Structure 1
Amino acid sequence: MLSVVVGPWRGAPVVLRNAEVLHDAASTMKMAVLAAVYRSGLDLEAAVPVVNRFTSAVGGSYGNAREWDSDPEPWQLLDAGPASSPASSPNMAEAPASAPLRWLAERMITHSSNLATNLCLAQVGRPAVAEAWRQANATRSSSPRGIEDFPARDAGVHNRVTALDLVRLLESLEPELLALLERNTWRVDLAAGLPPGTRIGFKNGWCPGVRHCAAVVHPEDSAPYALAVCYTGPLASGHDEIDPAAGLLARISARVWDRRHELAR
């Protein structure tokens, strides 16, 4: 299934292909967590203990798998504290290593850290993330569980998005958050289809069977435009970069770029 939405930035979409079909969210849901963190009123410089045990949306607990995470740095902090050892006692005097909430939110976006995402989600709570979707006027998308909350997934609790809601979420973000999206280091899929050096703020997500990306592109010679592509199918290998589905998204991005002057009209 391929879903595509294209339109002038904060304007009416001009391309709507399967725009409201639901897809597994993968890491695109991290934009909603980001919005929840920055709107929470929490001290972004506050130290957050780096642990790998989280409360499931259906009760009980779960943790992240290091080998499925694309960012090693939060795990290095985890290794530095007693919480990295399953045998550690909760009564140990030594506290886990910690990191500022702002840093965790940034790693969640710039390096797509799964561990940082769940640490941020634990700070703000799932209702705050639901409110971020509501404020974006999303009609079908939701993020009711954390990354790798498999007990919840097995119970039928799923993070799902549509291409149209991803554009709505992107357009609802504050300038500071849009600027953070421009620092995304995973410049594959939509970013790979643009001329080198093109300004783009985006968040992508991938896992086996899924490759998505939502972006705002700022050409130097025309007005900015929004583009979201969600793909679910066998082309998505789940690899970070060597992924046929990422190539598909890059080709779509290149075609939209070629017609960028028409979008403003």
Structure 2
Amino acid sequence: MTWDDLDAHLDTVPGTVSAYVGRLGAPPTWTRHARAGHYAASTMKVAVLAALHRAAEAGTLDLDADVPVVNEFDSAQPGAPRFSCAPHYDNDDAVWDRLGGTASLRWLAERMIVRSSNLATNLVIGHVGLPVVAAVWALAGAHDSVTGRGIEDFAARDAGITNTVTAADLAALLGALASGATTPGRLASPAGCAAMLDVLLAQEHREDLAAGLPEGTRIALKNGWVRGVRHGAGVVLPDDAPPYVIAVCTTTDLDDGGEGAEDDPCRLIARVSAEVWAARHRL
């Protein structure tokens, strides 16, 4: 399949499908609506992870310090009451099991990525602050993405404060982390970037990008989903080709149709991932 063929297939999808594919540190091989804005869902947690490591390297916090695990947070909307997360809307009972106790910021950051815990995300944001997250996007070279609020901050959402990403910006962020793990970069020290990459490699939600790769293929991945939205962004590390970055963002009317549904969002992203994998030697 050519890139034109893939574009033609995606043209039939109801909604917007964006993509960015390319080798690390090189111009993209294929893009599709790469600067179209999408609601971020949980993909913004990568920027929060980088913000935490930058704060640790600046000496403003200790990754291994225990912090209280609470469920009450300041809204990004001035004057709004504090808000809380809903347990049924989260993906990680392990963090909720510590409610009222303590946990290290390092552990919370891992749960924020590998299980996509919303509670852990808001706890980390509370310690680093949204301005530090915004600085990460800028340092990564992002042009359009914004992390304006925490998860389930509905007062801020209703006031128009939101979290937005593009495929190009997600690729820039993941690419900067991967490149920074081997050479000094913009986001953190090589050791810090390598530690973040290890967390992303441990991702447990593997229904989309990872599902399009051969079993055992290493991918440093973060995905995100809410109704009508499914995204996946990662760095694929083949054994037989140079690493490449891939980001696919979908805002569609597709349903999670389950087994046999050709184009539910996960299968759609997996198909794109498989086509890119097949072309990995030509990127």
Give the TM-score taking structure 2 as reference length.
0.84
Question: Given the alignment, which residue of 137, 148, 153 partners 2:152?
Answer: 148
Contact kept, 8 Å, 1:52 with 1:63, in 2: the verdict is yes
Unaligned segments of structure 1, at least 5 residues:
82-96
Which runs of structure 2 are paired with 1:101-180 in the superposition (5 Å)? Answer: 101-173=105-177, 174-180=193-199
| Counterpart in the other structure of 2:182 | none
Task: String of CA shifts for 1:58-93, please: whole Å, max 9, x gaps.
Answer: 032111111110111111111xx3xxxxxxxxxxxx
Matched, 1:37 2:52: yes
**Higher deviation after alignment, 16-25 or 165-174:** 165-174
- The structural deviation recorded for 1:102 is 0.5
Unaligned segments of structure 2, at least 5 residues:
1-15, 178-192
Question: Given the alignment, which residue of 192, 197, 204 partners 2:223?
Answer: 204
- The structural deviation recorded for 1:236 is 4.8
How many equivalent residue pairs?
A: 244
Contact kept, 8 Å, 2:174 with 2:234, in 1: the verdict is yes
Counterparts of 1:179 and 1:38, CA distance in 2: 13
Contact kept, 8 Å, 1:208 with 1:238, in 2: the verdict is no
Amino acid at match of 2:273: S
Q: RMSD between aligned alpha carbons?
A: 1.5
- The structural deviation recorded for 1:237 is 4.2
Amino acid at match of 2:73: F
| Counterpart in the other structure of 1:28 | 43
Task: String of CA shifts for 1:29-78, please: whole Å, max 9, x gaps.
Answer: 00000000011021011111011100000032111111110111111111
Amino acid at match of 1:35: A
State the identity as a percent: 53
Counterparts of 2:115 and 2:257, CA distance in 1: 16
- The structural deviation recorded for 1:188 is 1.2
Cα 1:188/1:134, change in 2 over 3 Å: same
Matched, 1:47 2:66: yes
Contact kept, 8 Å, 2:256 with 2:266, in 1: the verdict is no
| Counterpart in the other structure of 1:68 | 89
Which runs of structure 2 are paired with 1:76-95 in the superposition (5 Å)? Answer: 76-78=97-99, 81=100
| Counterpart in the other structure of 1:88 | none
- The structural deviation recorded for 1:235 is 1.4
Cα 1:19/1:161, change in 2 over 3 Å: same
| Counterpart in the other structure of 1:256 | 276
- The structural deviation recorded for 1:262 is 0.4
Counterparts of 2:149 and 2:256, CA distance in 1: 23
Give the TM-score taking structure 1 as reference length.
0.89
Cα 1:236/1:105, change in 2 over 3 Å: farther
